[in-house]
Amino acid sequence: MRNISKIIDGKRVIIKKPELLAPAGNLEKLKVAIRYGADAVFVGGKEFSLRSGASNFTLEDIKEAVSFAKQYNATIHVTCNIILHQDNLHGIEEYLKALDRAGVKAIIVADPYIMKIAKDLDLNLEVHVSTQLSTLNTKAIKFYQDLGMDRVVLGREVCYDDLKTILDKTDIDIEYFIHGAMCIHYSGRCMLSNYFSHRDANRGGCSQSCRWYYDIFDSNQKLNEGKIPFSMSSKDMSLINHLPELIELGVDSFKIEGRMKSLHYIAT
C-alpha cells in the first residue's frame, strides 16, 4: 500500500504529490513547459528516439535543457524508445554515457538490449520502461523490476480498476498517461503506417494513419455516403476530471502526450 496521506493537526493531508511530466519537441517548448509548472519534461534526441517528425534535441540542446530545468527544480527525461534493427546498434553505448554526463534524470526505453546495456554501464540515470511495451499487468511489471528498471510507463489501455490493483500490488514507480493521443492498437505495436505509407511507427516515422479519414465500402457499395468519413482514432484522452482519484491511488507520475504539439497546447 502506498502512503498517500497522513493526519496533520487533525486534518488529512495529501503528502504524495505526483510528478507532472510534460512533452517538448524543441527547446522553446521545453522552457514553456517548465515555466508553466511541469516537474519534468520528456524529449527526444536526434538518435534512438521515436517521433522523427519532431525537431528533437542534439546533445548540446539536452545539456542546455538540463541546465534550464535545474533553475526550476525540474528534471529531463530522454526517449530512447526506438525498436532497434541491426543498423541501429552502433553508437548506443556512447550516446547513453553522454546523456548521463549531461545530467539527464532518466531514459525511456522499449528495446531490451538498451535496458540491459544502460544497467550494465552502471549509469546514474534511471531507466524507465516505455509505453511502447504495453505493460498492462503486475506480472509484467515484476519482470521489468527484476531486470533493474526504475519505473514502468503503463500502456494507455490500463483501466482504472486495473491501475488500482497495480498500485496496490507493486512498489516500483508507475507513470500513467492523463492527456493526449490514444493509440488504435496496443501502444507501439501498430503496423498501419508501415502498410499505408512505408513509414515505420516503431522507428519514429508514424504517419498517424489511424487519424486519416476513410470511406467504408461493402463490396462496391459506399456505406458512409453523405456522412462524415470514418476515422479510427478521432479522440484524445482527457482525464483532467479524474486527477483527484488518480492522486488518491498513488500514481507516481502523470504524463501528458504530445512532443509534436504546439506551445499553446503545452502551456495550457
- Among 9-18, 43-52, 205-214, the range of highest mean pLDDT: 9-18
CA distance 50 to 247: 29
Least confident of 92-106, 115-129, 209-223: 209-223
What's residue 51's pLDDT? Answer: 54
Over its C-alpha atoms, the chain yields an Rg (Å, rounded) of 20
Q: Is the pLDDT of residue 20 over 70?
A: yes
CA distance 133 to 152: 10
What's residue 50's pLDDT? Answer: 56
What's residue 218's pLDDT? Answer: 93
186 pLDDT tier (thresholds 50, 70, 90):
confident
What's residue 70's pLDDT? Answer: 98
14 or 70, which is more confident: 70
19 or 192, which is more confident: 19
Quick one: which of 19, 69, 5 has its CA closest to 43? 69
CA distance 222 to 245: 44
Residues contacting residue 140 through CB under 8 Å, at least 6 positions apart: 133
Quick one: which of 224, 202, 210 has its CA closest to 182? 210
What's residue 188's pLDDT? Answer: 66
1 pLDDT tier (thresholds 50, 70, 90):
low
Q: What is the pLDDT of residues 56-85, one digit of tens each?
A: 789 999 999 999 999 999 999 999 988 888
CATH superfamily of 5-182+236-267: Aldolase class I (3.20.20.70)
Q: Mean pLDDT throughout 234-243?
A: 90
What's residue 203's pLDDT? Answer: 67
pTM: predicted TM-score of the whole model, two decimal places? 0.89
59-81 in b/e burial notation, b at 16+ Cβ within 10 A?
Answer: bebbbbbbebbeeeebbbbbbbb
85 near 49, Cβ under 8 Å? no
* DSSP result, the chain: ----EEEETTEEEE--PPEEEEE-SSHHHHHHHHHTT-SEEEEEBSSS-S-TTS--B-HHHHHHHHHHHHTTT-EEEEEE-----GGG-TTHHHHHHHHHHHT--EEEE--HHHHHHHHHTT-SSEEEE-GGG---SHHHHHHHHHTT-SEEE--TT--HHHHHHHHHH--SEEEEEEEEE--SSSTT---HHHHHHS--GGGT----GGGS-B--EETTEETTTTSPPB-SS--EEE-GGGHHHHHHHT-SEEEE--TTS-HHHHH-
Residue that the C-alpha cell 453523405 belongs to: 226
Q: Mean pLDDT throughout 115-126?
A: 95
Neighbours of 172 (CB within 10 A): 15
Cell numbers representing residue 67 in the block: 541546465
Q: Mean pLDDT score of the chain, rounded to an integer?
A: 90
250 near 2, Cβ under 8 Å? yes
Q: Is the pLDDT of residue 54 over 60?
A: no
Least confident of 11-25, 60-74, 122-136, 175-189: 175-189
Residue spans of the domains in the chain: they are 5-182+236-267, 183-234
